[in-house]
């Protein structure tokens, strides 16, 4: 078996056809282990770390950071048996005419391209695993059809990059047609070695921020847990206010032209969000209703819940009660949890409850699967995990698929409410506003009470005014007196 294998960018699920390489977590010459994360890739839905399909030594990296790569394109070459002796180095000296040299037959024979889709080796990602199941990455799905993508506007074919002198563990080319030439290893920053000489510890959003601000993480000393680099470390480095082991690479300020305008490419999550919102806004006839409710009793109930011994280590927030209210209201009005399918309405007996989350990459809506079957404690744990995963930038494409009804918690920004746009395929979305102390008539007297405003947008093709009003009223009734609502409805 050939010892050099090329790893193609896998299908990351949901029919995605390409991904942008955010960060290489390894470099040429590194020894890697099976399933060790080697590259961070951003798709239109999520940023994910892709693990190595083989253990061995990195021989070549075919695409630098910031490159958009189509699914199925080789991105890295790995020597799966580096202890077997040195490989025959490929000549990278260009001829006088500027053409790249053709690799020797022995060099080509040492390369094996990763098996094509549907032909993955047993035990590897996407291949058959013990028991007859398919081994896939978390958040990935087995790819069964060829990816189709529209050609980019204005794309101009580029010439192969100029060759560079051979390096240790030089670039090895796969078994390509004769016209294919060697590809020089990109000059990447060493993202594994920090100022202390050890590996750089930084979350993906922090790495993305450092990339945007042109800050080399390898020169920073982290101030976070276990020496991890935080957003503050990167921002201070970008402003020149932090001491580092080596001089910081000059940061790139926003680039404004003579017209004092900056043009930012629309891609990734922002592009997908724009497409989805435009399609939803001009397809589903939206109606939005508002309801202001006294949630003083609900807030007191949360305080009592936090005081219980079995709940002391659980994150309890007002969002938990809002989610519970929505789930109970769906049981009373199941038509709200449905999808318009042209000549029929699909009513769902399960609720994949979406929670809109603002992240550094843009707006994402991961969902809690089958949330209606969860106990209150299980729902609390699921919401906590969902939020923490979103904040760390680790939300998988699968976690953002299949949502049936969504909550957007605009109150965390100090906003009273909003008129949210429906996620495609859903018929209702609830905006939960800030909880404020306000004068309120309570038992015939004006008192200071805790009050919030709810905003419900719904698809008027499915939900008429009566159904939408009753659904919103039930959510408000639960938040006004959760104990009484639980006794009456369950």
Strands 111-113 and 4-8: parallel
Q: How many CB atoms lie within 10 A of CB 353?
A: 27
Q: H/E element holding 31?
A: strand 31-32
Q: H/E element holding 251?
A: none
**Residue 352 CB contacts under 8 Å (≥ 6 apart), including other chains:** 367, 368, 369, 370, 371, 402, 403, 404, 405
Q: Are 372 and 115 in contact (CB under 8 A)?
A: no
- Catalytic residue selected from 63, 333, 442, 460: 460
CA 175, 178, 179, 181 torsion: positive or negative?
A: positive
Task: Give the C-alpha distances (Å, rounded to integers) separating 181 from 60, 62, 73, 234.
Answer: 13, 12, 15, 38
Active site residue 460: yes
| Bridge partners (DSSP) listed for residue 58 | 78
The token pair that represents 368 in the structure block: 């809690």
Residue listed under structure tokens 């011994």: 309
Ramachandran assignment for 258, one of left (phi > 0), alpha (psi -120 to 50 degrees), beta (any other): alpha
The token pair that represents 36 in the structure block: 């060790």
* Closest by CA position to 47, among listed 56, 39, 36: 39
**Got the DSSP string for 105-151?**
HHHHHTEEEPPPTT-PPTTSTTSB-GGGPBP--TT-----S----PP
Distance CA 283, CA 288 (A): 15
Q: H/E element holding 235?
A: helix 231-238
Q: Are 326 and 318 in contact (CB under 8 A)?
A: no
Q: Are 217 and 209 in contact (CB under 8 A)?
A: no
Cα distance from N-terminal residue to C-terminal residue, the chain: 63
What dihedral angle (degrees, nearest 10) is formed by the CA atoms of 385, 390, 393, 399? 80
Tell me which residues are annotated as active site.
Answer: 460
């Amino acid at each position: 078996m050939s010892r050099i294998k090329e790893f193609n960018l896998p299908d990351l699920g949901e029919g995605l056809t390409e991904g942008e390489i955010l960060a290489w977590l390894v470099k040429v010459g590194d020894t890697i282990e099976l399933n060790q994360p080697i590259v961070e890739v951003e798709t239109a839905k999520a940023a994910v770390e892709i693990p190595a399909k083989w253990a061995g030594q990195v021989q070549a990296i075919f695409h630098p950071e910031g490159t958009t790569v189509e699914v199925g394109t080789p991105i890295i070459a790995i020597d799966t048996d580096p202890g077997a002796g040195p490989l025959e180095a490929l000549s990278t000296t260009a001829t006088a005419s500027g053409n790249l040299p053709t690799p020797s037959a022995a060099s080509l024979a040492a390369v094996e391209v990763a098996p094509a889709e549907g032909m993955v080796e047993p035990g590897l990602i996407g291949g058959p695993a013990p028991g007859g199941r398919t081994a896939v990455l978390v958040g990935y799905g087995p790819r069964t059809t060829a990816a189709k993508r529209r050609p980019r506007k204005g794309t101009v074919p580029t010439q192969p990059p100029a060759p560079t002198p051979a390096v240790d563990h030089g670039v090895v080319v796969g078994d390509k047609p004769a016209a294919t030439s060697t590809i020089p290893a990109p000059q990447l920053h060493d993202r594994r070695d920090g100022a202390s000489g050890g590996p750089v510890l930084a979350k993906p959003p922090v790495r993305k921020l450092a990339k945007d601000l042109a800050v080399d993480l390898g020169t920073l000393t982290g101030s976070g847990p276990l020496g991890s680099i935080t957003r503050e470390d990167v921002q201070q480095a970008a402003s020149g206010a932090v001491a580092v082991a080596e001089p910081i690479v000059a940061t790139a300020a926003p680039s404004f032209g003579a017209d004092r305008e900056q043009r930012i490419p629309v891609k990734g999550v922002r592009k997908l969000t724009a497409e989805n919102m435009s399609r939803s806004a001009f397809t589903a006839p939206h109606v939005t209703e508002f309801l202001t409710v006294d949630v003083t009793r609900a807030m007191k109930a949360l305080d009592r819940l936090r005081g219980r011994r079995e709940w002391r280590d659980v994150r309890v927030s007002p969002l938990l009660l809002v989610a519970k209210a929505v789930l109970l209201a769906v049981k009373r009005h199941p038509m709200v949890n449905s999808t318009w399918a042209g000549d029929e309405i699909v009513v769902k007996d399960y609720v994949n409850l979406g929670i809109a989350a603002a992240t550094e990459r843009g707006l994402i809506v991961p969902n809690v699967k089958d949330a209606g079957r969860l106990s209150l404690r299980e729902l609390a744990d699921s919401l906590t995990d969902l939020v923490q995963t979103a904040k760390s930038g680790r939300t998988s494409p699968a976690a953002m698929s299949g949502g049936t009804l969504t909550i957007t918690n605009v109150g965390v920004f100090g906003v009273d409410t909003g008129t949210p746009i429906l996620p495609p395929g859903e018929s209702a979305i609830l905006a939960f506003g800030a909880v404020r102390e306000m004068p309120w008539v309570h038992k015939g007297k004006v008192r200071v009470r805790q009050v919030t405003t709810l905003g419900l947008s719904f698809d008027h093709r499915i939900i008429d005014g009566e159904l939408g009003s009753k659904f919103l009223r039930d959510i408000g009734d639960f938040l006004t007196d959760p104990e009484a609502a639980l006794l009456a409805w369950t």
